[in-house]
Copies of this chain bind each other. A is one copy, B any other.
Amino acid sequence: MSSMKKLINSPESVVSDALAGLAAAHPGLTVDVERRIVRRAAHASTAGKVALVSGGGSGHEPLHAGFVGPGMLDAACAGEVFTSPVPDQMLAAAQAVDAGAGVLFLVKNYTGDVLNFQMAAELLEDEGIESRSVLINDDVAVEDSLYTAGRRGTGATLFAEKIAGALAERGADLAAVAGVAERVNATSRSFGIALGPCTTPAAGQPSFQLGEDEIEVGIGIHGEPGRRRAPMAPAAELAGLAVEAVCADLDFTGDAIALVNGMGASPLLELYVVYNEVQAALKSRGVSIVRNLVGNYVTSLDMPGFSVTLCRADADLVDLWDAPVNTPALRWGA
């Protein structure tokens, strides 16, 4: 469950303070603490490469700043906790990292993110820099209908950032990089379950109240309640629920890349228990996990719970997945 006690100096300074810490910890990053822009350190040679820029509210760490570095993002913009950053940030970030091949904005589908990135893209156009935006909307807990803001972007964001980042690194052009990000999004689905709320520093109150034996099913990553409340159940059942929801929406028969993601406060021990159940449930459906991540990657502050994200894995995508990456939170082959 969530705590009012936080390792912060003040709710107002938490994002800046964390960015200052990020800067101090990672010499491979250049952090503009005031404007809240994180990008690869200046020396990284990216001439002629499509630049990948993402960003969003803070509180989802390591997303996005933890994925800035060779093989992944060129820059990330950090908003206030759970609040989309502003167009000025995205514009400045894009201008800073554009290397002449244009900018791909990877945008999680929330009204705030969409509108702010949209404004940034317009401003960028005025500056004569080409950009494309790809919306990530993988969360099957939200009905994608005229009656909602559409599906939320969650775990697939990491997949898109990694895979499009790898293709950009190989010198593909903006259309191709945007294309592969779209393909990742189109073939990815997520579903999350919370065992409790989270508490933002500003609110100082849990985002919702749950009984000792209740869980929220179909949660997002902003402490919002889920689609329904359900009684607590063993990990096997919860993993089954998530797998069922994801697979009911898209046929994953065959190979898949899987993320079993912790929402922030669930111990890694438990996430491995969940992974075990997820892979078993998938196996019985003819889905075989060929690559995986287990851990806290797209979090919701101190929320206990997990989400499952699957992406159909063809040989191309797996090859891009395996390409070297060197960021604070994801690193291999380098």
Interface residues of A (CB under 8 A from B): 1-10, 14-15, 17-22, 24-25, 58-59, 61-62, 66, 81, 195-196, 212-213, 215, 232, 234-236, 238, 264-277, 279, 289, 292, 294, 296, 299, 301-302, 304-306, 331-334
Contacts and interface: CB of A to CB of B under 8 A. Distances in A.
For the complex of A and B, the 6 pairs showing the least CB-CB separation, nearest first, are A21-B276, A21-B272, A7-B270, A61-B268, A265-B265, A18-B272
B273 A7 contact: yes
A69 to B, nearest CB: 12
Given A17-B276, A19-B272, A59-B267, 12 more contacts: A1-B1, A5-B195, A5-B212, A8-B270, A9-B236, A21-B272, A21-B273, A21-B275, A61-B268, A61-B269, A61-B272, A81-B269
Contact of A235 (B1, B8, B61): B8
Nearest to A239: B7
Contacts of A331: 331-332
Given A61-B272, A62-B268, A269-B58, A212 B20 contact: no
Contacts of A25: 272, 275, 279, 292, 294
Nearest to A283: B24
Contacts of A265: 3, 264-265, 302, 304
Give the number of times this chain occurs in the complex, counting copies.
Answer: 2
Contact of A66 (B17, B268, B273, B333): B268
A195 B7 contact: yes
Contacts of A279: 21, 24-25
A18 B273 contact: yes
A14 B238 CA distance: 15
B9 A273 contact: yes
Nearest to A214: B5
Contacts of A215: 5
Contact of A61 (B212, B234, B267, B301): B267
Contacts of A59: 267, 269
A5 B196 contact: yes
A230 to B, nearest CB: 12
Given A4-B212, A5-B215, A21 B306 contact: no
A235 B299 contact: no
Contacts of A7: 195, 235, 238, 266, 270-271, 273-274, 305-306
B9 A235 contact: yes
Contact of A269 (B195, B212, B294, B301): B301
A20 B276 contact: yes
A22 B234 CA distance: 18
